[in-house]
Structure 1
Amino acid sequence: MTAMSAREPARADVAVIGGSGFYSFFDADAAEVTIDTPYGNPSAPITVGDVEGRQVAFLPRHGARHEFAPHTIPYRANLWALRTLGVRQVFAPCAAGSLTPDLGPGSMVVPDQLVDRTSGRTQTYFDGGGVHVQFADPYCSDLRKAAARPGTVEGGVLVVVEGPRFSTRAESMWFARQGWTLVNMTGHPEAVLARELEMCYATIALVTDLDAGIESGDGVRAVDVFAEFQRNLGPLKTLVRSAIAAAPEGPCETCRVHEGVNLPIELP
């Protein structure tokens, strides 16, 4: 793997942010890029390589060795670094618990809605200036369409909890009664930060378990979640590569939300 600094001409137009257990993407011929941002260092050095004829940046969300818990991930640094490389489209595979017995472990879901139940996470680049970003539809429809390959489930609501603990049975049952589909710990603020940077963004959720209120037993265990993710990592990577190949080039108009707005900071 070739190493380079941010001053050298490494560029990418699409990125993959890997979730729990998804720590590498390229087999060979990838360049490693180190980027400093105003928000600190990203979770890990970024690798850039070719996928289906497109230059793709890969960043493991939790770090190369899962150093970062969901609430300590440097979300702002991660998205800023990717945009600095030229990225305007982001696929964000993640592990998720299912809130319905219809979606068992191994299911791959492309949600269309998000509910934020986190607390205390910095979720904006704009601390001043009266900037209010449109977020009614949190995921890019173009990227969602590209990710909705045969065998995936299209649509659903991802509720994001603070973590790092898993939900109680009562919480899980409450989420399910709302009609929400999946539960996860990292989908927010990542999605809204991407929108603030005018980057198209879509989540691909790999179901690793039925959440505590959906299935009787001892509840969710991290060791089981990681094991299920590893069993399905190969098909998930194949799906991500297919989504990259199917995605249109360049950002869509819907995700370009700052037209006519004076931003308090300059975007990279």
Structure 2
Amino acid sequence: MVESDRPVIGVIGGSGIYEIDGLENKQWRRVESPFGEPSDELLFGELDGQPLVFLPRHGRGHRIPPSRLNFRANIDAMKRAGVTEILSLSAVGSLKEELAPGTFVIVDQFIDRTFAREKTFFDSGLVAHVSLAEPVCARLGDALEAVAGDLGLPHARGGSYMVMEGPQFSTKAESELYRQWGCSVIGMTNMPEAKLAREAELCYATVAMVTDYDCWHPDHDHVTVDEVIRTLLANADKARALVRGVAPRLSGRSGPCASGCHHALDNALITHPEARDPELAAKLDAVAGRVLRG
């Protein structure tokens, strides 16, 4: 990424999120990645002159389960498409009474309990360690919170997103355990997505859209796919309005993100230049090209 470039907003979410009124110059394009196939083609467009790039996380028609998502290819493809900041929208279950179905939670922390996924772009021959103390870009979170308030959307700022492997929903014992840990919501998709976005030096923020109370709540039926889909459809218009409202707030950035997202690799590479694997370095031309060429 060239720091003087204008922001390009990437959106990762459900298949209906990209159907935004006013999105112009729309074009689906395949973006190849050395890390394999992304979930789908990317939809390029402009909203009031602001470039946007959309990726259906599970592919159009929801073809790919959470554990089979190629998170590395998805993030790498977004970086190759010129994306500089990512808004991630995902369906979650609530672990707190006050976060009722229909609430949009702008989370600021994650607990990663997944175990069957590739979680880093780096490997033997080119080692790097990025900071994830603050895994969400505060600047993007501020914009999302402001627009959600302007639109009158039920929302909450802050909270921890428990990321489980899936595809099954939680047992009641698991759900109660995560509540004891203080988690706010639970889902299956935002890890390692957030980790990879940080490695790729992209701003990243999540809007977790609550569809149910998971299985812990004694006064609600246990979560079902029908319930999730019903609430998702009800939230679709609100999610599109949120993206449309956030876009102009992010278009005025000049220079790199003040939160440091665009310089996450400044002090992350450990492997000495003469010991680096040239083949891996070539694969990382988009993700880490800024520091590898430096």
Normalized against structure 2, the TM-score is what? 0.82
> Matches of residues 124-143 of structure 1 in structure 2 within 5 Å?
124-128=120-124, 129-143=126-140
Give CA-to-partner distance per residue, 1:26-49, whole Å, 9 cap, x none: 455301111111011211110111
> Matches of residues 1-268 of structure 1 in structure 2 within 5 Å?
13-19=8-14, 22=16, 24-26=18-20, 29-128=25-124, 129-149=126-146, 150=149, 151=153, 152-216=155-219, 218-247=221-250, 248-249=252-253, 251-253=256-258, 254-255=260-261, 256-262=263-269, 265=281, 266-268=284-286
**Richer in helix (by share):** 2
RMSD: 1.9
Secondary structure of 1:115's counterpart equals strand
- Residue identity over aligned pairs, in percent, reads 36
Contact 1:62 1:73 (8 Å CA) reproduced: yes
Contact 2:106 2:141 (8 Å CA) reproduced: yes
Letter in 2 for 1:163: G
Contact 1:12 1:56 (8 Å CA) reproduced: no
Contact 2:17 2:240 (8 Å CA) reproduced: no
Contact 2:20 2:244 (8 Å CA) reproduced: no
Structure number with larger C-alpha Rg = 2
Secondary structure of 1:188's counterpart equals coil
Contact 1:23 1:63 (8 Å CA) reproduced: no
Contact 1:109 1:153 (8 Å CA) reproduced: yes
Q: CA 1:26–1:238 in 2, change beyond 3 Å: closer, same or farther?
A: closer
Q: CA 1:232–1:217 in 2, change beyond 3 Å: closer, same or farther?
A: closer
Q: CA 1:237–1:215 in 2, change beyond 3 Å: closer, same or farther?
A: farther
Deviates more, 1:21-30 or 1:80-89: 21-30
Cα distance in 2 for partners of 1:90, 1:147 equals: 12
Cα distance in 1 for partners of 2:113, 2:164 equals: 5
Give CA-to-partner distance per residue, 1:52-91, whole Å, 9 cap, x none: 4310000000001101001001111111111001111000
Number of the residue aligned with 1:7: none
Give CA-to-partner distance per residue, 1:141-196, whole Å, 9 cap, x none: 11111111304211011000000000011111111111110000001000000000
Instruction: Give the total of aligned pairs.
Output: 257
Cα distance in 1 for partners of 2:236, 2:30 equals: 26
Cα distance in 2 for partners of 1:261, 1:219 equals: 43
Secondary structure of 2:192's counterpart equals helix
Secondary structure of 1:120's counterpart equals coil
Q: CA 1:135–1:37 in 2, change beyond 3 Å: closer, same or farther?
A: same
Contact 1:69 1:164 (8 Å CA) reproduced: yes
Cα distance in 2 for partners of 1:116, 1:81 equals: 23
Contact 2:129 2:268 (8 Å CA) reproduced: no
Secondary structure of 1:203's counterpart equals strand
Query: Structure 2 unaligned runs (5+)?
Result: 1-5, 287-294
Query: Structure 1 unaligned runs (5+)?
Result: 1-10
Letter in 1 for 2:83: V
